[in-house]
Amino acid sequence: MLAEYSVLLIGAILVNNFVLVQFLGLCPFMGVSNKLETAMGMSLATTFVLTLAAASSYLVYNAILEPLGLGYLRTISFILVIAVVVQFTEMAVRKSSPLLHRVLGVYLPLITTNCAVLGVALLNINKEHDFLQSLLYGFGAAAGFSLVLVLFAAMRERLAVADVPQAFAGPAIGMITAGLMSLAFMGFAGLV
Partner 1 sequence: MSLLRITSPHAHGPLSTTRVMQTVLLATLPGVAALVWFFGPGVLVNIAVTSFFAIAFEAAVLKLRGRPVLRTLDDHSAVVTATLLAIALPPYAPWWLLAVGAAASILLAKQLYGGLGYNPFNPAMVGYVVLLISFPVQMSTWAAPRGLAAEVPGLVDALQACFIPASFDGATMATPLDILRQNSDQSLAALYAGTPQLGAWGGVGWQWVSLGFLAGGLWMLYRGIFTWHAPVAMLAALAALAALFYDGGGPGSGGSPLFHLLSGATMFGAFFIVTDPVSSAVSTRGRLIYGALIGVLIYLIRTRGNYPDAVAFAVLIMNFAAPFIDYYTQPRSYGHARGDRP
Which residues would be at the binding site for partner 1 (CB under 8 A)?
Answer: 36, 150-152, 154-155, 157-159, 162-165, 168, 173, 176-177, 180-181, 183-192
- Provide, rounded to whole angstroms, the least separation between the CB of residue 68 and partner 1: 43
- Provide, rounded to whole angstroms, the least separation between the CB of residue 6 and partner 1: 13
Q: How many CB atoms lie within 10 A of CB 63?
A: 10
Q: What is the DSSP string of 145-178?
A: HHHHHHHHHHHHHHHTTS---GGGTTHHHHHHHH
Helix ranges, 97-130 (H): 98-104, 107-111, 115-126
Query: Which of 73/173 has CB closer to partner 1?
Result: 173
- Provide, rounded to whole angstroms, the least separation between the CB of residue 8 and partner 1: 16
Single-letter residue type at 81 = V
